[in-house]
Amino acid sequence: MEDFWAMVLAGLKVWVCLIVALLMVPAMFGFSLGISETYMKILVKILEWATLRIQTVNKAQQILKSSSFNSLVQRDDGSMEEELRGLRRSRPKPPVGGDFTLSDCFYFYRRGIEDIVEDEVTQRFSSEELVSWNLLTRTNIDFQYISLKLTMVWGLGVFIRYCILTPLRIMLASIGLTWLVIGTTAVGFLPNWRLKSWLSEWVHVMCYRICARGLSCTIHYHNKENRPRKGGICVANHTSPIDIVILCNDGCYAMVGQSHGGLMGVLQRAMARSCPHIWFERADMKDRHLVAKRLRDHVNDKTKLPILIFPEGTCINNTSVMMFKKGCFEIGGTIYPVAIKYDPQFGDAFWNSAKYNMVSYLLRMMTSWAIVCNVWYLPAMHQQEGEDAVQFANRVKSVIAHQGGLVDLSWDGGLKRAKVKDIYREEQQKKYSSMVVGSEEDRSGNSD
């Protein structure tokens, strides 16, 4: 019995030494031993093989799989005016009293039914469906037995992911976070020398690197020359809390957010000791002027780190970019846009906060194959003459969407939970009204 425990202890010691040597030291000093690269290569090969197997079996059995990758309906791109004119073509325009036909409604009915079958917005709040199965149970939509080999590979995958990788990742993540708290608190005790900020950045990056290893992240950074600089605002599309880990692996940012209690609160306070972050009390967040003032003060101090903001305000599923809130675009600082695109084949990074809480989300992350993403740093942008904050925000949004290959939507991400505002319906009504009454205004000079 004693021998058994001695063996277990020895095994644990070896395990921990291996972890430190192979994973933590490279993370601390920023070089790579090539272990993750090898893992990724093997993974890619296996997934390609699996895709081929599924395709051949499907062809053989002539199973038609309608992938929801493509649209279900084909829409007419005509505007309301064009469509209504088409509907009214069959009758002459009445001389007085406004232009209305019983068939005008057909336009609205058809649009309504098309939207019920398929709409642009609600699909953004749930995970993207994959083109081909990636050997994870959670993405298996149509459970079908394909072949014994595939099932065995899947079973092996389950074992590796849950029994080997997940404990390792959990350990790394906890080490990373503990280190973050201890390191930043320690740095916080130093007086304000240049050394302090350098050390603080080093501690931050090191801990985020360990956390990234804890999620098996493979990140490709592009255009590093456009990296955000001090005194600017870094703006990115939001898919999950992991975005922060992804971006902070390659630079140091000042975070903005609500101060939480509990574990998050400990983290936040520790981080704030070593370098200035902007944490708000819940009540203060409602006060837009206060928020703007604090942001402006931070930005104007050129020694402070660039602020990291996600203007969408909520997590979107990484197939589109939704409306940017104009708050940070009104401050007048330099905006550094960043586009983040995850590869869903290896692991779905989207946090569906309605379905999963933070802990189950992190567990799902840790039991995926890996997190693979591309980060593009885009050239800095400034607000131009005669451009208001909303237009500026839209300009930045389309640049990010274009680079990341995402759909550019003007809908508010807040529609995830809130109802759409009446004003948009009134716009539709206004448009239609001008088609009814417009003819009168042309003819008579005196319109009310």
Partner 1 sequence: MGSRASSLLREEEIEEIKKETGFSHSQITRLYSRFTSLDKGENGTLGREDFQRIPELAINPLGDRIINAFFPEGEDQVNFRGFMRTLAHFRPIEDNEKNKDPTASEPLNSRINKLLFAFQLYDLDRDDKISRDELLQVLRMMVLRMMVGVNISDEQLGSIADRTIQEADQNGDNSISFNEFIKVLEKVDVEQKMSIRFLH
Adjacent-strand bridge partners of 371? 217
Q: Which two tokens stand for residue 439?
A: 């003819």
Give the footprint of partner 1 on residues 331-370 (CB under 8 A): 352, 355
Give the footprint of partner 1 on residues 16-55 (CB under 8 A): none
Q: Is 129 in the site for partner 1 (CB under 8 A)?
A: yes
**How many angstroms separate the CA atoms of 151 and 145, rounded?**
8
Q: Is 151 in the site for partner 1 (CB under 8 A)?
A: no
Residue with Cβ nearer partner 1 (87 or 168): 87
**Could you tell me how many residues of this chain bind partner 1 (CB under 8 A)?**
67
Whether the Cβ atoms of residue 384 and residue 93 lie closer than 8 Å to each other: no
Query: By CB under 8 A, which span of 123-131, 172-180, 185-193, 228-236 interacts with partner 1?
Result: 123-131
Query: By CB under 8 A, which span of 141-149, 205-213, 224-232, 339-347 interacts with partner 1?
Result: 141-149
The closest of 138, 217, 137 to 173, measured between CA atoms, is 217
398 C-beta neighbours (distance < 10 Å), count = 14
User: Which amino acid belongs to residue 195?
Assistant: L
Q: How far, rounded to the nearest angstrom, does the alpha carbon of residue 355 sit from its chain's CA centroid?
A: 16
Q: Is 300 in the site for partner 1 (CB under 8 A)?
A: no
Binding partner 1 (rule: CB under 8 A), the pick from 48, 81, 119, 287 is: 119
Distances, alpha carbon 244 to alpha carbons 79, 149, 208, 248, 369, in Å: 40, 39, 9, 6, 20
Residue showing tokens 């990115």: 236
Residue with Cβ nearer partner 1 (122 or 151): 122
- Shortest Cβ 421–partner 1 spacing (Å): 9
Residue with Cβ nearer partner 1 (110 or 224): 110
Q: Is 170 in the site for partner 1 (CB under 8 A)?
A: no
Q: Using DSSP bridges, classify how beta strands 334-343 and 320-321 pair: parallel, antiparallel or unpaired.
A: unpaired
Distances, alpha carbon 224 to alpha carbons 25, 220, 287, 318, in Å: 24, 10, 35, 22
Q: Is 64 in the site for partner 1 (CB under 8 A)?
A: yes
Binding partner 1 (rule: CB under 8 A), the pick from 39, 154, 356, 432 is: 432
391 C-beta neighbours (distance < 10 Å), count = 14
53 — phi, psi (to 5°)?
A: -60, -45
Q: Is 106 in the site for partner 1 (CB under 8 A)?
A: yes
Binding partner 1 (rule: CB under 8 A), the pick from 227, 269, 411, 439 is: 411
Binding footprint of partner 1 on the chain (CB under 8 A): 64, 66, 68, 70-75, 86-87, 90-91, 94, 97-98, 100-123, 126-127, 129, 138, 140-143, 352, 355, 411, 415, 419-420, 424-430, 432-434, 436-438
